[in-house]
């Protein structure tokens, strides 16, 4: 491949990864066509893109974008997964596919300027995602108000009865 063509492909990869702030690098070597189509269909539903990349070109594109340390993950056949609402959801879906498919392997990931190994991606997938965290914050914010409303309403709602005083 000529340098000019490599440069064009590298620019194309850089434009694809331009808005990417986090990603998961996987190996999909050996996955059959049916499993590949099923996986890509589900990933597309979750707004996740999976690009098979030529390592040297991807390293150059990532370096131009400031992700130079991702190059350490790009060894052997690689695909870069990115997208989704948040990185935890991305990690969860990738870990699910790692468990479903024999030939699917997580190599690592990239998050906030740090390279993650496969175990760190596994650990990330066990964390609550953005919507779960938002729900927890809403419940925490709502909790004192509901307790206060319950405390205010409980004496009135219980119908306290006083015992009449008996005269003897």
> How confident is the model over 124-150, as pLDDT tens digits?
888 887 777 778 778 777 777 666 666
- What does the buried/exposed string (b/e) look like for 89-110 if buried means 16 or more CB atoms within 10 Å of the residue's CB? bbbbbbbebbeebeebbbbbbb
The SS3 call for residue 128 is coil
Q: What is the dihedral of CA 32, 35, 98, 125, to 10 degrees?
A: 150
Based on the number of CB atoms within 10 Å of its own CB, is 71 exposed (0-12), middle (13-18) or buried (19 or more)? middle
Domain membership flag for residue 19:
yes
Domain membership flag for residue 153:
no
Domain membership flag for residue 150:
no
Local confidence band at 58 (pLDDT 50, 70, 90 cut-offs): confident
Total tally of structural domains belonging to the chain:
1
Local confidence band at 162 (pLDDT 50, 70, 90 cut-offs): low
Domain membership flag for residue 142:
no
Which has the higher per-residue pLDDT, 90 or 7? Answer: 90
Local confidence band at 62 (pLDDT 50, 70, 90 cut-offs): confident
Domain membership flag for residue 166:
no
Domain membership flag for residue 63:
yes
Distance from the Cα of residue 151 to its chain's centroid:
40
Q: Which domain holds residue 56?
A: 3-130
CATH number of domain containing 91: 3.30.70.1730
What is the model's pLDDT at position 45?
A: 92
């Amino acid at each position: 491949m000529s340098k000019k063509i490599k440069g064009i492909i590298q620019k194309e990869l850089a434009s694809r990864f331009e808005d990417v702030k986090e990603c998961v690098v996987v190996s999909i070597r050996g996955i059959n066509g049916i499993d590949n189509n099923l996986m890509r269909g589900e990933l597309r539903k979750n707004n996740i893109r999976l690009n098979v990349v030529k390592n040297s070109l991807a390293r150059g594109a990532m370096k131009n974008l400031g992700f130079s340390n991702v190059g350490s993950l790009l060894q052997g056949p690689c695909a870069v997964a990115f997208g989704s609402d948040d990185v935890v959801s991305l990690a969860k879906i990738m870990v699910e596919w790692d468990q479903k498919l024999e030939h699917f392997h997580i190599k690592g990931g990239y998050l906030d300027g740090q390279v993650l190994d496969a175990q760190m991606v596994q650990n990330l997938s066990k964390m609550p995602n953005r919507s779960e965290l938002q729900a927890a914050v809403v419940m925490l914010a709502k909790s004192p108000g509901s307790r206060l409303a319950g405390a205010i309403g409980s004496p009135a709602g219980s119908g306290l009865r006083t015992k009449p005083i008996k005269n003897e």
